[in-house]
């Protein structure tokens, strides 16, 4: 657990230190710059600037604007409570721009105090290498079932794909064919997710290694989700700041591909968990109010809730995150 002194109120900091009136916002971001490197024409290329609310007050990100059209932005989870995370997603516009480009993204925060944070992105969009489609879209993959997707990578004559690599041990890639047509070389690439991939979101990159010394490698985004027979949302249950012994009730949604019953909902033991609802009736979806009672020890709470069902004895998990003050 993190000690209570690690979680501070912004009202005190902003009043006592003029410098902190701006620095408090900067401290929420894990990083403020990213280099996309050299990327293929038409490839989907994005980066998430993660921010975490490490303060007692709620923080609201009101806006994020790039300085040029080479980059578009999206805010995920703009209102973050204590210990919640959000992100500013920067996407390189590889379909409309070529060459060296960069952008400054100005992030505007309006609560609890006005502040701005500037993020930087840059990269090189190749005009002689392209990817179709823009990324490897896996979609929803059933747990335990392998899935295959194919993409086409094209380059100028003499340009070669030497090898392919992924960082995820459950994803492999290989060349299917190579043909010279229309004044360019076209490589068909197969990407396979094996039957051992765990439940959760899949976000990885296919690294394409080439014979071009100026750009020996470039990434292609891989996205999808491995789904269990039973899924739970949200994936993280944010409790906020609690007093010792305080109770908080949050709803969770449990869904299955066929009707099922909820057998039990249990925690790690550092707080009490009680549930209500009709979990003993077989339905394809259950909305379960979960009541959590905070313990007497102050500090950060990071616990796991486990929802057991009678659907192939499937068990799903979600993390709870909060603070006892």
Q: What is the CATH number of the domain that holds 300?
A: 2.60.40.10
| Structure-token pair, residue 235 | 């994936």
Helices (H) and strands (E) in the chain, counts: 2, 23
| pLDDT at residue 250, rounded to an integer | 84
Q: Shortest CA distance to 267 belongs to which of 285, 238, 250, 290?
A: 290
| pLDDT at residue 4, rounded to an integer | 40
Query: Are 17 and 115 in a shared domain?
Result: yes
**pLDDT tens column, 79-127:** 998 888 999 999 999 999 999 999 999 999 999 999 999 999 999 999 8
Beta bridge partners of 78: none
State which H helix or E strand residue 148 sits in. Answer: strand 147-155
| pLDDT at residue 283, rounded to an integer | 87
**pLDDT tens column, 35-56:** 999 999 999 999 999 999 999 8
pLDDT band for position 11 (cuts 50, 70, 90):
low
pLDDT band for position 15 (cuts 50, 70, 90):
very low
Cα-to-chain-centroid distance, residue 4:
28
Checking if the pLDDT of 6 tops 50, the result is: no
Report the alpha-carbon distance of residue 298 to residue 320 in Å, rounded: 16
Query: Are 123 and 86 in a shared domain?
Result: yes
269: left (phi over 0), alpha (psi -120 to 50) or beta: left
Query: Are 242 and 209 in a shared domain?
Result: no
Cα-to-chain-centroid distance, residue 311:
28
pLDDT band for position 234 (cuts 50, 70, 90):
confident
Checking if the pLDDT of 296 tops 50, the result is: yes
Query: Are 285 and 221 in a shared domain?
Result: no
Contact, 128 vs 155, CB < 8 A? yes
* Mean pLDDT computed over 69-76: 96
| pLDDT at residue 228, rounded to an integer | 79
How many domains does the chain fold into?
Answer: 3
Q: End of a domain among 98, 127, 156?
A: 127
The values of phi and psi at residue 88, to 5°, are -110, 115
State which H helix or E strand residue 212 sits in. Answer: none
Query: Are 164 and 220 in a shared domain?
Result: yes
Query: Are 60 and 101 in a shared domain?
Result: yes
Q: End of a domain among 127, 157, 187?
A: 127
Q: End of a domain among 178, 209, 227?
A: 227
Report the alpha-carbon distance of residue 153 to residue 132 in Å, rounded: 6
Q: Which domain holds residue 293?
A: 230-324
| pLDDT at residue 314, rounded to an integer | 62
Percent of the chain with pLDDT over 70: 89
**pLDDT tens column, 199-222:** 788 889 999 999 998 889 999 999
* Mean pLDDT computed over 127-145: 91
Angle subtended at Cα 249 by Cα 244 and Cα 250, rounded to the nearest 5 degrees: 125
The values of phi and psi at residue 263, to 5°, are -85, -45
pLDDT band for position 61 (cuts 50, 70, 90):
very high
| pLDDT at residue 243, rounded to an integer | 86
Percent of the chain with pLDDT over 90: 50
Query: Are 80 and 9 in a shared domain?
Result: yes
62: left (phi over 0), alpha (psi -120 to 50) or beta: alpha
pLDDT band for position 2 (cuts 50, 70, 90):
very low
Q: What is the mean pLDDT of the chain?
A: 86
Checking if the pLDDT of 5 tops 70, the result is: no
Checking if the pLDDT of 270 tops 60, the result is: no
Q: Is the pTM of this model over 0.85?
A: no
Contact, 185 vs 154, CB < 8 A? yes
């Amino acid at each position: 657990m993190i000690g209570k002194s690690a979680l501070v109120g912004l009202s005190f900091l902003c009043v006592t230190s003029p410098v902190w009136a701006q620095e408090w916002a900067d401290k929420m971001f894990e990083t403020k710059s990213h280099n996309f490197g050299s990327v293929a024409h038409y490839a989907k290329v994005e980066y998430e600037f993660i921010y975490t609310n490490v303060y007692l007050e709620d923080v609201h990100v009101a806006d994020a604007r790039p300085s040029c059209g080479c980059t578009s932005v999206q805010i995920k989870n703009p209102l973050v409570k204590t210990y919640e995370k959000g992100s500013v997603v920067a996407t390189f516009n590889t379909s409309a721009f070529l060459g060296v480009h960069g952008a400054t993204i100005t992030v505007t925060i309006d609560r609890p105090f006005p502040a701005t944070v500037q993020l930087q992105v840059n990269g090189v969009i190749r005009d002689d290498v392209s990817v179709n489609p823009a990324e490897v879209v896996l979609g929803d993959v059933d747990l335990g079932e392998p899935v295959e997707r194919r993409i086409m990578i094209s380059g100028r004559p003499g340009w070669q794909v030497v090898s392919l690599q992924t960082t995820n041990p459950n994803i492999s890639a290989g060349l299917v064919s190579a043909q010279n047509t229309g004044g360019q070389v076209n490589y068909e690439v197969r990407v396979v997710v094996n039957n051992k991939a765990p439940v959760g979101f899949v976000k990885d990159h296919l690294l394409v290694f080439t014979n071009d010394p100026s750009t020996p490698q470039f990434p292609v985004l891989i996205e999808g989700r491995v789904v269990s027979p039973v899924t739970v949302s949200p994936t993280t249950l944010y409790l906020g700041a609690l007093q010792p012994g305080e109770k908080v009730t949050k709803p969770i949604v449990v869904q299955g591909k066929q009707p099922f019953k909820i057998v039990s909902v249990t925690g790690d033991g550092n707080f009490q968990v009680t549930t209500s609802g009709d979990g003993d009736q077989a339905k394809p979806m259950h909305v379960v109010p979960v009541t959590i009672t905070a313990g007497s020890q102050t500090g950060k709470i990071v616990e796991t809730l486990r929802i057991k069902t009678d659907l192939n004895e499937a068990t799903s998990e979600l993390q709870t995150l909060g603070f006892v003050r």
